[in-house]
Amino acid sequence: MEETIEETSRGLALRLCLNLRNGLHARPAARLAQEAQRYSAAIQLVSDTGEVDAKSMLDVLSLAPPFNAELTLLAQGHDAREALCGLARLLSTMQD
């Protein structure tokens, strides 16, 4: 997965496509939130249906992004770039 991190007025942004056949259901949502909690940066997950705190499994689950959903990760903080890279790597290697 090639990662293109952009600087925006809201911090760093990374756009990606969700490649999980069953979407971001409970197990991958929990893993994403757990990974996001490793970083001190504030991290938001944005989809067509809303924007949530990526460190909260319930928030991530509430988005219910389906297979092929376009997502954006936004991060602010001293380890924002590292957080986006780590989360992108997790999402690209995660399997249903």
Catalytic residue among 25, 51, 59, 92: 25
The mean pLDDT of 11-26, rounded to a whole number, is: 93
The answer to whether 25 is a known catalytic residue is yes
How many Cβ atoms are within 10 Å of 43's Cβ, its own excluded? Answer: 27
pTM exceeds 0.85 for this model? yes
What's the rounded Cα separation, in Å, for the pair 93 and 56?
A: 20
Q: Which pLDDT belongs to residue 3? A: 67
pLDDT digits (tens, 9 = 90+) for 37-78: 999 999 999 999 999 999 999 999 999 999 999 999 999 999
Q: Which pLDDT belongs to residue 45? A: 97
List residues bridging with 13 in a β-sheet: 6, 74
Domain extent listing, the chain: 5-93
Q: Which pLDDT belongs to residue 94? A: 85
* Measured distance between the N- and C-terminal CA atoms of the chain, rounded to whole angstroms: 18
Mean predicted lDDT score pLDDT of the chain:
93
Homologous superfamily of the 5-93 domain (CATH): HPr-like (3.30.1340.10)
Q: Does residue 24 contact residue 61 with C-beta atoms inside 8 Å?
A: yes
Here the tokens at position 35 are: 């990974």
